[in-house]
Amino acid sequence: MLFQQEVRRILAYRHPVDMRKQFDGLVSIVRNELREDPLSGSLYVFINRRRNYVKLVFWDRTGFCLFAKRLERGRFVLPGEADTFELSEQAFRLILDGIVLGANGRP
């Protein structure tokens, strides 16, 4: 994974997010809309309306980390229909590569 520390869970938020949001704005979504503790060690995934840009927020014991990726071609496609859902590390890696997963989280 991208991180030296073990990530407890990977949670994706399906609704489009304004990618101008930085740490505080995204952590606010984690607290208020996902009803999660942003200090829990989980990785939170946010995608923009066009689905070509993703931001990840993670607490690493000393502060928040913010990662971003933009696809030059294609779109990030999240499996299922739930507003918020947990991803396996394998499914997360495939999504970051722009691979479309089925409803069961498999390519």
Domain for residue 107, yes or no? no
Tally of domains within the chain: 1
| Tens digit of pLDDT at every position of the chain (107 positions) | 455 566 789 999 999 999 999 999 999 999 999 999 999 999 999 999 999 999 999 998 899 999 999 999 889 988 888 889 999 999 999 999 888 876 555 55
Q: How far apart are CA 47 and CA 69, in angstroms?
A: 10
CB 58 within 8 A of CB 44: yes
pTM: 0.87
pLDDT of residue 60: 87
Instruction: Work out whether strand 43-47 and strand 84-87 pair parallel, antiparallel, or are unpaired.
Output: unpaired
Strand 10-13, strand 43-47: pairing = parallel
- How high is the pLDDT of residue 1? 46
User: What is the DSSP secondary structure assignment for residue 74, as one 8-state letter?
Assistant: S
**Structural domain contains residue 3:** no
Within a domain: 103: no
